[in-house]
């Protein structure tokens, strides 16, 4: 297979919602509609093809899609590209400063526009796939990895011993910055896939602006400095956040976070040579001082492989309460909230009931999805591009899970994250269940589920690596 066999194309459209639909979805926020736009939200599609298989990465600046909504996007993109839907990776940044999930129904204001927005997404995103298809050209791939420690573990033990979603400076994070550089064959910049692990919860309940949060500013930083379109791959952020400056309404914070991670990605990007070279000593050049002159020699490399895999993981579940019980609590909470808002109650009173209403809504959705089951099948999706593999599940896994998978992976570069293919709740590690806290209190999964994900993902990656090695991969 020649190097020119590999091709890539990228397309982007705006998915910034109108200001007439609900904003964010924080339990402590007291506003319903956004007041303005800090940055546009994007749908970006990267299309890659090795002459045998075509795959697409869909990158969305959104917080959550349901499994059904993700599948609708997948089918729409696959139709445009004329490929198997299993080759489409629908990935979310998990941005908390855009529209809330489609099932948001705490109050009536803006709901019709909200539903229309989500209904239009598959066709709008398919338009980005068309742009990517039309932009396909021969390309080269380079992969590198850096490190950034701006993220912080967010499982904080507050005064009094309560586990809260805050900042735990001594807790684990995943500092890897993965960079997949894709240049056109003529050397011009084409695309960069950048992976980092940190919740986009920088802008919090008091923020009133639509924003792509720090991942949007990471992408803008990378694009400004490289000229390539940036696609973001979110990591296993279940217990990782933006640190003590999070939950703010100061947009300078998201810009600074995106700039810091983006600059590390740019450093890694700039350190690569495409096509790859090896430096060899050429001669001593007498120039007053004897100068050691080195020359770059091209390195023969096989063309990048594109390979996607989809595998079900059966995760054990915790028992759930009855649907009637949680629906009653939701009805009571929503009625109280509507009454307070109609009377123009003080903001503090509305805030106190809003988070209760959000939790009640979450409980209903959880019972509807997981009630009466002992296990849940979730899709593990893996996409190989050259020596790198991107694996993900439709959950919010703790970073410890990603670290274990990367340690067990045979690939030179491995990425593991969540928010791909929908959203099915938090996935903590077993040792955190005793501490309780938001992520543990809302998870539908039994403590054994994390091990199922680790073992299942590593097994799939080893299988993919054996196939690659048999074909001459390194």
Please write the tens of the pLDDT for every residue from 365-396: 888 889 999 999 999 999 999 999 999 999 99
Structure tokens, 419 = 């928010």
429's enclosing H/E stretch is: none
Strand order in the sheet with 54-60: 88-92, 54-60, 42-49, 7-14, 137-147, 176-184, 189-196, 229-234
Q: What is the pLDDT of residues 428-471, one digit of tens each?
A: 999 999 999 999 999 999 999 999 999 999 999 999 999 999 98
Residue 4 has what pLDDT?
Answer: 47
Residue 110 has what pLDDT?
Answer: 92
For 220-225, what is the mean pLDDT?
98
2 confidence band (pLDDT: 50, 70, 90): very low
Give CA–CA dist 267/391, Å, rounded: 24
**Measured in whole angstroms, how far is the alpha carbon of residue 377 from the centre of its chain?**
20
Short-list 464, 449, 466, 461, CA closest to 313? 449
Positive or negative CA dihedral for 62, 397, 145, 177? positive
Per DSSP, what are the bridge partners of residue 147?
Answer: 176
pLDDT > 50? residue 149: yes
- Could you tell me if 2 and 303 are in contact, meaning their C-beta atoms sit under 8 angstroms apart? yes
Per DSSP, 173 falls in state -
Higher pLDDT, 30 or 191: 191
- Could you tell me if 299 and 456 are in contact, meaning their C-beta atoms sit under 8 angstroms apart? no
Higher pLDDT, 229 or 328: 229
- Could you tell me if 402 and 235 are in contact, meaning their C-beta atoms sit under 8 angstroms apart? yes
Per DSSP, what are the bridge partners of residue 92?
Answer: 60
Residue 474 has what pLDDT?
Answer: 58
Residue 355 has what pLDDT?
Answer: 77
Q: Which pTM does this prediction carry?
A: 0.94
Structure tokens, 165 = 């979603």
Per DSSP, what are the bridge partners of residue 13?
Answer: 43
Residue whose structure tokens are 């573990």 = 153
- Could you tell me if 23 and 208 are in contact, meaning their C-beta atoms sit under 8 angstroms apart? yes
Q: What is the pLDDT of residues 234-271, one digit of tens each?
A: 999 999 999 999 999 999 999 999 999 999 999 999 99
55 confidence band (pLDDT: 50, 70, 90): very high
**Measured in whole angstroms, how far is the alpha carbon of residue 90 from the centre of its chain?**
9
Higher pLDDT, 130 or 338: 130
Share of the chain above pLDDT 90, in %: 84
For 356-370, what is the mean pLDDT?
84
Tell me the pLDDT of the chain averaged across its residues: 94
């Amino acid at each position: 297979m020649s190097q020119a066999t590999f091709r890539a194309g990228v397309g982007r459209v705006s998915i910034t919602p109108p200001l007439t639909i609900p904003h964010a979805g924080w339990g402590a926020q007291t506003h319903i509609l956004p007041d303005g736009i800090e940055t546009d939200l994007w749908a970006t599609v990267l299309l890659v093809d090795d002459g045998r298989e075509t795959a697409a990465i869909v990158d969305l600046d959104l917080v959550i899609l349901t499994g059904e909504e993700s599948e609708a996007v997948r089918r729409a993109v696959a139709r445009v590209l004329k490929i198997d839907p299993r080759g489409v990776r629908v990935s979310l940044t998990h941005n908390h400063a855009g529209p809330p999930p489609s099932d948001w129904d705490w109050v009536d204001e803006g709901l019709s526009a909200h539903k229309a927005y989500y209904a239009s997404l598959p066709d709008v995103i398919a338009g980005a796939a068309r742009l990517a298809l039309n932009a396909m050209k021969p390309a080269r791939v380079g992969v590198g990895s850096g490190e950034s420690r701006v993220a912080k573990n967010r499982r904080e033990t507050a005064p009094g011993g309560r586990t809260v979603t805050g900042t735990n400076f001594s807790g684990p994070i995943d500092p890897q910055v993965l960079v997949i550089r894709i240049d056109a064959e003529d050397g011009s910049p084409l695309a960069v896939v950048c992976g980092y692990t940190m919740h986009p919860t920088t802008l919090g309940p008091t923020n009133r602006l639509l924003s792509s949060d720090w991942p949007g500013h990471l992408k803008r930083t990378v694009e400004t400095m490289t000229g390539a379109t940036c696609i973001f791959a979110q990591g296993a952020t279940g217990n990782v956040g933006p640190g003590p400056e999070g939950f703010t309404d100061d947009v300078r914070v998201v810009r600074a976070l995106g700039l810091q991670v983006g600059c590390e990605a740019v450093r890694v990007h700039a350190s690569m040579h495409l096509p790859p070279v090896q430096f060899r000593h050429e001669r001593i050049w007498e120039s007053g001082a004897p100068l050691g002159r080195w020359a770059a020699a091209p390195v023969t490399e096989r063309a990048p492989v594109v390979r996607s895999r989809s595998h079900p993981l059966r995760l054990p579940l915790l028992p759930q309460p009855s649907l009637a019980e949680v629906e009653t609590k939701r009805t009571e909470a929503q009625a109280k909230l509507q009454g307070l808002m109609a009377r123009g109650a003080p903001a503090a009173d509305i805030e106190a009931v809003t988070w209760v209403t959000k939790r009640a809504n979450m409980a209903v959705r959880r019972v509807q999805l997981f009630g009466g089951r002992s296990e849940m099948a979730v899709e593990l999706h893996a996409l190989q591009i050259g020596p790198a593999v991107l694996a993900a599940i439709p959950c919010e896994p703790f970073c410890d899970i990603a670290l274990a998978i990367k340690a067990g992976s045979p690939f030179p570069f491995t990425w593991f994250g969540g928010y791909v293919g929908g959203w099915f709740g938090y996935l903590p590690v077993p040792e955190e269940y005793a501490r309780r806290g938001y992520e543990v209190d809302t998870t539908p999964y039994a403590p054994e589920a994390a091990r199922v994900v680790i073992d299942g993902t590593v097994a799939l990656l080893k299988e993919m690596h054996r196939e690659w090695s048999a074909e001459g991969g390194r």
